[in-house]
Chains A and B, each alone.
Chain A
Amino acid sequence: MPLITNNEQRTTNNLDITRIRQDFPILNQTLYGKPLAYFDNGATTQKPQVVLDTITHFYNSINANIHRGVHKLSEESTKAYEEARETVRSFINAKNTNEVIFTSGATASINMVAFSFGETFVHEGDEVIVSEMEHHSNIVPWQMLCERKKAKLIVLPFDDNGELIIDKLDELITSKTRILAVTHVSNSLGTVNPIKEIIKRAHKYNVPVLIDGAQGVKHGIVDVQDLDADFYAIAGHKIYGPTGIGVLYGKEKLLNAMVPWQGGGDMISTVSFEKTVYNELPFKFEAGTANYIGAAGLSSAIKYYKSVGIEAATAYEMELLNYATSKLLSIDGLRIIGNAQHKAPIVSFLVDNIHPYDTGMILDKMGIAVRTGNHCTQPVIDHFGIDGTVRASLAFYNTFEEIDRLIDGVKKIKEMFG
């Protein structure tokens, strides 16, 4: 594979990418005889060896159900789970570990709020605001709530660059608005939303805000206290951790006021057939056997991400994004969907009139993994009147050389379909 050897914008921010790549065993393989270039990090990220080791070690040496047993292993298991909670708390700078609830993922976190907050605070005729660029996971749970409660779903639009029109908020928020749900980073457009400003505006009207942080938490430092977010949803597998583990951050006061989502073991204090008293935070929202090994894996992933250096990783990812963007735009007939000023390393594009599915199929045969389609954001695709996009979403283990291969691949596809 010929490499473009000019040195424009190629800095690694002192990250040793070659060494970092060795931490991710999956990256070191060939597909169809070509080395894998993995650009589907928006869907899920790869796992460093240390996370895999944590999980294996847990099953091999510690595994026991948490919070229940008096025996040594159960005690250690519980300790690891609660340490993971502390790792997450410190990672997002929550005030208290009580505010960190383990879930199965960002989708579950949002559904939990849509149910528990909804049951408690949303009534007939009330309104819920979501943005036009939300992932289906931050639309459908609210639609279900609105259907249940006969409330109304209001949509905050974005402009053709893919930037939310936040000035509309003052108009859209009414005395009936109960909550605003908006994404930190758009998974299909790459837009980084000015969530601190959005939260500030919503709070002016005493409207709490849920931030979908599935894409946001892995591209820079998140400080929920500084943001003053009321809820922040995290997916473990998108931040180098295992699947099936996620986090809901919520302000203690709100979480305490909310009814539980699911009932079961661990979430109760006392149970009788006459009356059940719920457990305290965070256990009130963690019914059933928790994914404690997933939590330990997530904790290990966060520690790894911190050891790489969050700021250095983010800066390098931005270099990759800028490089990919300028190289892609140099291809005749290529257009980028989502041109916000402030973007995460996600680039959605279309080449001539070639169907994204066709582009994705051929790139796959070149060993290049991208995502094609609507990215679970059908309203975004409808906004632009297109059938979908090809999306390359980057992580700090990607390289400039891999981007060169993507560019060469797209050029070849143009020839094939021309």
Chain B
Amino acid sequence: MTLNEVQDRIIEDFSIFEDWMDKYQQLIELGKDLPPIDDKKRTESYLIKGCQSKVWLDAELENGKILFSADSDAIITKGIVALLIQVLNQRTPKEIIDADLYFIDKIGLKENLSPTRSNGLVAMVKQMKLYAIAYQAKENR
């Protein structure tokens, strides 16, 4: 599946939820299902600071594709992190840099990614793209 196909699938999955509660219940389940990040990475150097919930993120390059691992201490944040990973994992740096993450808006979670929300998610997307830029620069050297 292409990156946008994954986004479209998520949008379809969420379209069945009419109620806010069901949407958040789904995010909670996704958050619970995302494997926790390696304890060694649950440290300051992998931490993306939001005012209220913390997000830890790492990225590795394997065969030209980026593998993300991430975690959060708040489950809803972790659920959104899980969605971001579904979309951006195993993609080339270029795909990630060029990605337009429209699914966030389409599933009604835009507020969570607005800079005024202090949950670290905006910084997380930025950091994911920065990893991609860094790995691309490394590849082109």
> Chain A interface (Cβ within 8 Å of chain B)?
32, 354-358, 361-362, 365, 372-373, 387-388, 416-417
Contacts and interface: CB of A to CB of B under 8 A. Distances in A.
Contacts of B24: 361-362, 365, 416
Nearest to B25: A416
B20 A372 contact: no
Contact of A355 (B20, B21, B53, B118): B53
Chain B interface bracket (under 10, 10 to 19, 20 to 34, 35 or more): 10 to 19
B14 to A, nearest CB: 15
Interface of B: 20-21, 24-25, 28, 51-53, 73-77, 118-119
A234 to B, nearest CB: 27
B88 to A, nearest CB: 23
B75 A358 contact: yes
B25 A373 contact: no
The 4 closest A-B pairs by CB, nearest first: A355-B74, A365-B20, A357-B74, A357-B53
Contact of B76 (A357, A373, A387): A357
Nearest to A360: B52
A361 B72 CA distance: 15
Contacts of B73: 355, 387
Contacts, number: 38
A49 B20 CA distance: 32
A357 B28 contact: no
A370 to B, nearest CB: 13
B20 to A, nearest CB: 4
Contacts of A387: 73
B111 to A, nearest CB: 10
Contacts of B76: 357-358, 361-362
Contacts of A372: 52
A356 B20 CA distance: 19
Contacts of A355: 53, 73-75
B52 to A, nearest CB: 5
Nearest to A356: B52
B20 A357 contact: no
Contacts of A361: 24, 76
Nearest to B112: A361
A358 B74 contact: yes
A32 to B, nearest CB: 6
Given A32-B20, A361-B24, A417 B51 contact: no
A365 B21 contact: yes
Contacts of B28: 358, 416-417
Nearest to A361: B76
A362 B31 CA distance: 15
Contacts of B74: 355, 357-358
Contact of B52 (A354, A357, A365, A416): A357
A361 B28 CA distance: 12
A91 to B, nearest CB: 34
Contacts of A388: 52
A388 B52 CA distance: 8
Given A357-B52, A388-B52, 18 more contacts: A32-B20, A355-B73, A355-B75, A357-B53, A357-B77, A357-B119, A358-B74, A358-B75, A358-B77, A362-B21, A362-B24, A362-B76, A387-B73, A416-B21, A416-B24, A416-B25, A417-B28, A417-B75
